Structure 1
Amino acid sequence: MQLRKMMVMLAAVSTMSFALTACGDDATTPESCSSDTDCASGFCNTAASVCMDTCESAADCPDTEKECAALAGATNTAKVCQCKTNQLCNEDDSTSLVCGAVSKRCEEPGTNTGCTKNSDCGTGETCDTATGQCVGGTTTCSGEGRATCAYGSACYSGTCQAPTAPTCENYTNFGNKSALGTTGPIIFKVATTSAATDSFCPASAPKRVKITISAYSSTPFPATSAELNGLFYVLVNGTAQAPSISSSQGNYVVTGTNRDRADIVANLCVAASSNTASLGYYFTGGNFFCFQSTY
């Protein structure tokens, strides 16, 4: 009799564990609501009329809405799963969703358009802080970098677009996605500059590959590479480390009237026979940029 009770208890615990795991792996479509009684679980975010999923930690939340915290302005102080960036909302390769400024759920642009800053809005939109509403901005542009695009987007082939959503293993295995966002420096381009045997690298990995990372920022970049903070190189296994940037002239170039653009040459030492590498870069508070370098 005791053995049977124990088996039933173990089965129940196993079922609960599976349910919690599923909650953390799968994104869900928000339920619409006008009060808490309309929600199957959690509570109603009445400002956006969507149900919020409660959580104890970020592990209980889907990768697209990974932040577990109390909802700002809500009377219910329970912690809920919330989105943090447009980029994380599009992990499934979709580029149509945004992180709702009011709902704090991944949603179609214009669904809940309240905002406090440009990064709360969809591509090509800007935030009218007087009304707290996203308004249609320019979708055409010239040049590259931010140009006339909303913060978090960049000018590609004459159109404002979000940088390509990351799908590389470097990003998949990266465990600190909460460090990403759309308020820090935005990487909009990465390119292979050169690759050659160089005394800069050790004999075990004698080929030096130079990778140029181009980014813009809402705050001035420092005058020298020695003062640069917050830029990380992510290995294929997801480990983040500071990239190697030499102080030689031309390896760190800052331009713009407010030093808002930086072109940074990072070094990568590889085996003599190596001809390709999967790379990942990000600034704290910024986007994650995947790049497949061929040299």
Structure 2
Amino acid sequence: MQLRKMMVMLAALSSMSLALTACGDDATTAETCTSDTDCSSNFCNTAAGVCMDTCESGSDCPDAEKNCAPLAGATNTQKVCQCQTNQLCNSGDSTTLVCGTVSKRCEEPGSTPSGCTKDADCGSGNTCNTTTGVCSPAATTCSGEGKATCAYGSACYSGTCSAPPAPTCENYQNFKNKAALGTTGPIIFKVATGAVTTDTAFCTAATPKRVKINISAYSDTAWPATSAELNGLFYVVVDGTPKAPSISSSSGNYTVSGNRADIVANLCVASTSNTASLGYYFTGGNFLCYQANY
């Protein structure tokens, strides 16, 4: 009889221990994995390389990870327990936990890969899925123009993701501030010559020919609302000197659509001029050479 009572008590204690483990507020150390079969729960968050607890409702989850839902971007649609805020992760005894951007678990900072918020956060040739915060290889084919599905720093040209043309013009060779260039600022992917008029009201009598240069660029950072707020755009003359372009504030000279901006810059030249060697760049972005013929 005594032995039977002891076995009953041990079973009760074991059940209590399991309940305490399941209901604890603090994060537990996650199993590492590369596939669902690596996890006792049969769910692997492959982006973060950690196992996640499956659930049917929030009541199945610890208080710190109470969001029971399918993991965004995962092929496995099973509901899993996910954290939502750093504050909720520290609702128990812990004070240093964070809600992992990619893992969606309460964890110590740096425990799993940090999430991206834009393509510039990813390595070369990768794009950011802003829903999941995960970097992945960019597409090599695309449609349309501009960034499309290409990696930041590349653009869509004839259905293929490619870097903008490398600068080889004298403007670039003589440009002294190459340290201002990069692949994190706005990327100019196209320049074209627009309307050409004689406009002595806008230009001077010595340079009466007004040439409109159409510049197309994209950026991870939101474009300003007006051209007057546009900063960091320069054109470079043949001797390498950067200058601020003249952009009219009238309608149609600055339009923004999503991450793309189309800018009309003005160039005043002599009436006998019919070509100009130009270079354009945004601070932190690429340098694009352009030979304007008009």
Q: TM above 0.5, one fold?
A: yes
**Residue in 1 aligned with 2:204?**
202
- The alpha-carbon deviation at position 270 of structure 1 amounts to 0.5
Residues 285, 252 of structure 1: alpha-carbon distance in 2 compared, 3 angstrom cutoff: same
**Residue in 2 aligned with 1:235?**
237
Q: Is the 2:128–2:135 contact (alpha carbons within 8 Å) kept by the matching residues of 1? A: yes
- Residues 62-108 of structure 1: per-residue CA shift (max 9 Å, x gap): xxxxxxxxxxxxxxxxxxxxxxxxxxxxxxxxxxxxxxxxxxxxxxx
SS in 1 for 2:272: coil
Letter in 2 for 1:207: K
- Residues 179-220 of structure 1: per-residue CA shift (max 9 Å, x gap): 000000000000001112112110101100000100000011
Letter in 1 for 2:263: I
Q: Is the 1:201–1:269 contact (alpha carbons within 8 Å) kept by the matching residues of 2? A: yes
List structure 1 runs of 4+ shifted beyond 6 angstroms: none
Q: Is the 1:145–1:155 contact (alpha carbons within 8 Å) kept by the matching residues of 2? A: yes
Q: Is the 2:119–2:220 contact (alpha carbons within 8 Å) kept by the matching residues of 1? A: no
Cα distance in 1 for partners of 2:135, 2:219 equals 21
Name whichever of 153-162 and 196-205 sits farther off: 196-205
Structure 2: stretches of 5+ with no match in the other structure = 1-115
Residues 140, 198 of structure 1: alpha-carbon distance in 2 compared, 3 angstrom cutoff: same
The percent identity for this pair of structures is 73
The reply to whether residue 289 of structure 1 matches residue 288 of structure 2 is yes
Cα distance in 2 for partners of 1:184, 1:228 equals 13
**Residue in 2 aligned with 1:172?**
173
Q: Is the 1:192–1:209 contact (alpha carbons within 8 Å) kept by the matching residues of 2? A: yes
Residues 292, 140 of structure 1: alpha-carbon distance in 2 compared, 3 angstrom cutoff: same
Pairwise CA RMSD of aligned residues?
Answer: 2.3
Cα distance in 2 for partners of 1:270, 1:137 equals 42
- The alpha-carbon deviation at position 126 of structure 1 amounts to 3.8
Q: Is the 1:121–1:127 contact (alpha carbons within 8 Å) kept by the matching residues of 2? A: no
* Number of matched pairs: 175
Letter in 1 for 2:293: T
The reply to whether residue 247 of structure 1 matches residue 246 of structure 2 is no
- The alpha-carbon deviation at position 171 of structure 1 amounts to 0.4
- Residues 149-170 of structure 1: per-residue CA shift (max 9 Å, x gap): 0100000000000000000111
Cα distance in 2 for partners of 1:128, 1:196 equals 45
Residues 272, 160 of structure 1: alpha-carbon distance in 2 compared, 3 angstrom cutoff: same
- The alpha-carbon deviation at position 127 of structure 1 amounts to 7.0
- The alpha-carbon deviation at position 136 of structure 1 amounts to 3.4
Q: Which has the larger radius of gyration?
A: 2
Cα distance in 2 for partners of 1:118, 1:173 equals 31
Cα distance in 2 for partners of 1:128, 1:220 equals 17
SS in 1 for 2:167: coil
Aligned residue runs from structure 1 range 36-115, under 5 A: none
Letter in 1 for 2:178: K
Letter in 1 for 2:150: C
**Residue in 1 aligned with 2:184?**
183
Q: Is the 1:198–1:208 contact (alpha carbons within 8 Å) kept by the matching residues of 2? A: yes
Q: Is the 2:254–2:263 contact (alpha carbons within 8 Å) kept by the matching residues of 1? A: yes
Cα distance in 2 for partners of 1:134, 1:148 equals 13
Cα distance in 1 for partners of 2:176, 2:137 equals 35
Residues 221, 127 of structure 1: alpha-carbon distance in 2 compared, 3 angstrom cutoff: closer
Q: Is the 2:192–2:213 contact (alpha carbons within 8 Å) kept by the matching residues of 1? A: yes
TM-score, scaled relative to structure 2:
0.56
Cα distance in 2 for partners of 1:137, 1:228 equals 29
**Residue in 1 aligned with 2:47?**
none
Letter in 2 for 1:136: P
The reply to whether residue 217 of structure 1 matches residue 216 of structure 2 is no
Cα distance in 2 for partners of 1:182, 1:220 equals 16
